[in-house]
């Protein structure tokens, strides 16, 4: 299992949070994930992090929205 590939895949997974990936990039991810538990775990973790960030920004946004009233 080439390690350079994992570096590329994890970078694409985190890029996917900020921008749209090309079809070729998604194909690379979809071909790689079933073969690599490390990258599957990485994807799971950045999803959790993103959800936590959304929850926190949701809380602070409703906080500021309410304080003006």
The residues of the shown chain that bind Zn ion, judged by CB under 5 A, are: 6, 36, 38-39
Residue 38 or 58: the one with the smaller Cβ distance to Zn ion is 38
Residue 25 or 39: the one with the smaller Cβ distance to Zn ion is 39
Q: How far is the CB of 18 from Zn ion (least distance, A)?
A: 20
First vs last Cα of the chain: how many Å apart? 58
Q: How far is the CB of 52 from Zn ion (least distance, A)?
A: 23
Residue 12 or 36: the one with the smaller Cβ distance to Zn ion is 36
Reported as type and span, the H/E element at residue 30 is: helix 23-32
Residues 6+ apart with CB under 8 A from 33: 9, 39, 40, 43
């Amino acid at each position: 299992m080439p390690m350079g590939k994992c570096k590329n895949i994890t970078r694409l997974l985190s890029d996917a949070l900020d921008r749209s990936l090309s079809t070729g990039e998604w194909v690379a991810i979809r071909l790689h994930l079933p073969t690599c538990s490390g990258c599957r775990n990485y994807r799971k973790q950045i999803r959790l992090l993103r959800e936590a960030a959304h929850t926190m920004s949701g809380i602070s946004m409703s906080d500021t929205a309410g304080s003006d009233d």
